[in-house]
Every structure is written in structure tokens, then in C-alpha cells.
Structure 1
């Protein structure tokens, strides 16, 4: 393995760095985007029980906000629920934009790696081919083995760049798709709270008018 890296020349160093960064970002995002971390099971039901028990207070809202992305959306909605349904939904949407930004952390870097890794490989191949043609000028074309070896070494960087770029691109697309699916789930859970809360209030208002 070391011999392959060495034969590719100095351009293999940034390609290797790209591979390390891509792996680190992928592992970190996979860990951060575990579904139960984003939207803990039964969290909406627990919040609704608190609402029914009239035990929502600033301390609980801060705790809920820090518990998970779903908790942040629910806390934002509850904090503005007294201003009406539309304001409540607007506050949830505003918080959702921050949540999505946090969920997409480092994905731009991963996409950049997927884009530049093959370019770095191509640059290494071009530099290698320049060296090969320089040898042809100095030594002629009599030694085909030396020329073939130089060309194969030049192509190593392109192959390595593609080997880094392809998994990085696949992971970039996969993580974006995963985030999109999670965001839909978060929105659905938040809308359930909005609908339940304001439906409850409408029933209470009607009951009070009948009295």
C-alpha cells in the first residue's frame, strides 16, 4: 500500500487527506443522524401528557429544546402557542431551518471532496505524463518497459482519486436523502402537536360558550 502511495508522487498526499476527511465526516454524520437521536420515540406523547397536565414551564421548555431536534421544534411551538396557530407554525418552521442546518453540518465539505478528489487524481496523472514525455525527450522511446512503468504510475493518482470520490459522492447523496426523510418526520410530529393543541382549545372554547 505504501509503495502505491509513494509511486503516485506528492499529489497522493492531498488525495489521502481527502479520503481521511471523507471517512471522518461520514462516520460522524451517521452517528449524529441516528433516528432515535433526531426524534426520540414517544417524545411527542410525553410532551402532550405535560400539556394535558398543564405542567409546561420555562425550565421544561429549555430541557425539551436541548433534548433533540424534535424537542427543539416542539419547544418552539409550545413557546408561541398562545399567539395562535399560524404564529406557532411559523416559529416551528423557523426553528426547523436551524435544525436542518445543524443536521447538514459538514455535508458541503463531503460534497467538495467528492468533486475535487478526481480532479486531484487527474492533476497527478497530467504531472506524471509530463515526466514520462520528459523521459522520452531525454532517453528516446527505446526502453518501452520504463515508459510503461511511468505511465502506469501516472495513472495511479486518477484511480486513487476516483476510489475516494465515488464513495464520498454516494455517502453525500445518501446522507442528504436521510436528512430529507427525517425532516419530513419532524414536520409531521410538529404538526400533530399544533393540531392537537388547537383542537383542544377549540373544544374548550365551545364548552365555555355553551355554559
Structure 2
């Protein structure tokens, strides 16, 4: 009985647990369905919101497009109106130009000729020294050149008067006061004589006139026998005088600076160039003195060769005197004594030649030094001022080139002198050696004959 009751209780418990599990599963399924339905409703609401936003944006864009279309139509109307007006203006302008051409007739050609002559005259005035005191009508000429309409009668009259003024000024010798800037950059008023339209003459000679700055500056170099304010005084008194005149109105005078003299070129060499010139002078003096000395010695040797029995005060005489001093000596001793005298004479003959050779080798080296120094100066100028103006580099380049030329020019005559003098000394030494060998041979023959006599006597 108890077992049966226990089984019933166990069965009841199992049934109860199964019922509870089924009820829980049904409740979970109901919750999932609710969640899915809620998510669907939210998504539908979001889609409706986006659709409304899209519709609103579409309406805005359509309104903007309509506004732009209206603006485009308005602009097109303005373009059409302006195009029509432009065409109308062009047609009207063409008619007016044709009317102007018919009415002016040959005046247009006259205007062209007047403007062309005015431009030519303006160009001449801008480079003429007559602007110092004789360019009263220059503003009228400028007005004609700049004008776009027919010149007036006043302007035509002014053009003629300006031409007439320049013709008269070209034949005048007038005394004027001009602003002058000297070599030191100091500006003052200088008295000058205007020689027609050819040049301005001051106390220093010809000066260049700068029309742009309205000031006179000196030329770098004056012509030979060039006039000065003092020498042209007879012209102011109406007298006839012959002067050096530049027919190019200053161009040839300016070119004189580009043709430097020998002294100008030597000055461009600077300190190194002066040292090379000193070396050249020393070398030439040494060569001249040694050349004279060798010529005198050679002449004495020629005289000595004609009378070898009387040794004189010359290298050959001293060699011959060695043989006459001691009659009783061996051949070996005589040979050594003669060699000693020849070596001693050779040192006297070649005196100064080594120094001449050294100077000849030193001159081109100094020229190279000047070249390097000049290029260093040139590069320093380029660093400071750039290479836009070649004039600022001219000093260093001139030094570089002139010192090289001086070094080569100095070396060549010294090398030539050294070679000539060495040949002369070698010629004299050959004569001394030949005569010395002859004396040794004579002594050897003498000793041999003495030994033979002794043997025969024995």
C-alpha cells in the first residue's frame, strides 16, 4: 500500500512539472511575438519619417530649379539685348568712321607725317646736348607724339619752331652753366661751352650730358689734344679755331675708355703685376750685365789665342799661367791644377745665370697667383652685387688676365736670355777645357821625351 501511494505521488509530481514547463514555453513565445510586432511598428514609423523628409527636400530642389530657370531666362534676355545693342553700336561706329574718313580726306596722311616727324625729333632731343639751354618747344613736340587727334595749328607751329631752334642751336658756340658731377660724386655748377650739338667743353675737357638726370659727368678718357674751356676761348670771341670734335656726338668719346693704353693695362695688373714688372727689370739687368761681361771675356780670349805665350788677365790667360808657374810637375798634378782653374772660371762665367733662371720660372707663377687673386675678387663682387652688371666684375677679370700675360711676357725674354748666356758660357768653358787638355798633352809629351833621353843616356 505504501509503495502504491509513493508511485502515485511521484507521478503527480512529474505531471505537475511537465505542466509548468509547457506553460513557461507558451509565455516565452508570446513575448517574442510582441517584440517583433513592436520592432515592425518602429521601422514603419522611421520609414514614414524619411519619406516625409525626402518629399520636403524634393519640393525645395524643385523651387530652386524654378528660380534658376527664371534667372537664366532673365540673363538670356539681357544678353540678347546687349548683343543687339553691340551690333547696333558697331554699325553706327563703322558709319561714323567712314564719315570721318571722308571728311578728313588727306588730313589723316598729314597727321601721320606730323606724328612721325615729331617722334623723330623727340628721339633726337632726348639725346641732344641742346637740352642744356635750347629746347623751349620740347613740350609741344611731346604733346603731338601723345595726341590721338589731329594736331592744332599751334602745335604745328610749335613743331616747326622746335626744328628751327635745333638748326640754329647746331651752329652756335654758347657759354652755359651746367650741373656737373665730378669723379668723387660731388655735384656743383660748372661753366661750360656748348659746341653746337656736338659736345660740352669744361675746364676738364669734354663731358657727357645725361638728359634723363639733367646733369653732366666726365668721360673716363679724353682724346689727345682735346679742347678745354681755356683753349676754346677764341671761339667765343668769333675767331676761327681748329678743334678735335666727335661727329658722333659722344659715342666715340665714350669708346675711348674701351681702348686703354699700355699704362692703363699695366695698372690693371695691380700689386702682383708690379712685382712681375720688377722681376722682369731685374732679370733684364742681370742678363744685360752678364751678356756684356761674356762678350768682353770672349773678345779677350780671342786676343789671347793669338798670343798664347803671354798670358793676360782673362780666363784663358789664367789657365795658361798655371802651366807656366811650375815647369817641373807631373802630368797628373798639372791636370788637377788645370781642372781647378777651369771649374773656378766656370763658376765666374755662370754667375747670375741661376738667378736669371729662377726669375724666369717665378714670373709665370706670379702671373698665376694674380689670376687666382683676380678671380677671387670677381667672385666676391658677384656675391655682393650679383652678375647683372659686367662693369662691376671688370676689375677682377682685368687683373686675372693682365697678370697672366705679364707673367708669360716676363718669362719668355728671361728664358731666352738664360739660354743665350748659358750657350756663351758653355762655349767659353769648352775653349778653356780644350786649351787645358792641350797643355796636359804637351806636358805628357815633354815628360815622355825626357824619359827617353834619360834611357838613352843610361
Query: Under a length normalisation based on structure 2, what TM-score does the superposition of the two structures give?
Result: 0.39
Point out 4+ residue stretches in structure 1 off by more than 6 angstroms.
none
- Corresponding position of 2:419: 173
Q: Distance in 2 between matches of 1:189 and 1:164?
A: 38
2:291 corresponds to 1:30: yes
Consecutive unaligned residues of structure 1, counting only runs of 5 or more, are 51-63
Q: Distance in 2 between matches of 1:94 and 1:102?
A: 13
Choose from 250, 272, 286 the match for 1:11.
272
TM-aligned CA deviation for residue 163 of structure 1: 0.4
Larger C-alpha radius of gyration, 1 or 2?
2
TM-aligned CA deviation for residue 80 of structure 1: 3.8
Consecutive unaligned residues of structure 2, counting only runs of 5 or more, are 1-261
| 1:108-127 equivalences in 2 (<5 Å) | 108-127=354-373
SS at 1:14's partner residue?
helix
SS at 2:351's partner residue?
coil
- Corresponding position of 2:349: 103
Asked if 1 retains the 8 angstrom alpha-carbon contact of 2:374 and 2:398, the reply is no
C-alpha RMSD over aligned residues: 2.2
TM-aligned CA deviation for residue 82 of structure 1: 1.4
Asked if 2 retains the 8 angstrom alpha-carbon contact of 1:25 and 1:106, the reply is yes
- Corresponding position of 1:40: 302
Asked if 2 retains the 8 angstrom alpha-carbon contact of 1:120 and 1:161, the reply is yes
- Corresponding position of 2:318: 72
Residues 124 and 15 (structure 1), Cα distance of their counterparts in 2 relative to 1, 3 Å cut = same
Asked if 2 retains the 8 angstrom alpha-carbon contact of 1:76 and 1:91, the reply is yes
Q: Distance in 2 between matches of 1:89 and 1:161?
A: 46
Q: Deviations over 1:40-78 (max 9, x none)?
A: 33x356344x6xxxxxxxxxxxxx4x6100111111232
Count the aligned residue pairs: 194
Residues 2 and 45 (structure 1), Cα distance of their counterparts in 2 relative to 1, 3 Å cut = closer
- Which one scores higher on RCO, CA 8 angstroms, separation ≥ 6? 1
- Corresponding position of 1:157: 403
Q: Distance in 2 between matches of 1:179 and 1:81?
A: 30
Query: Under a length normalisation based on structure 1, what TM-score does the superposition of the two structures give?
Result: 0.81
Q: Distance in 2 between matches of 1:44 and 1:155?
A: 52
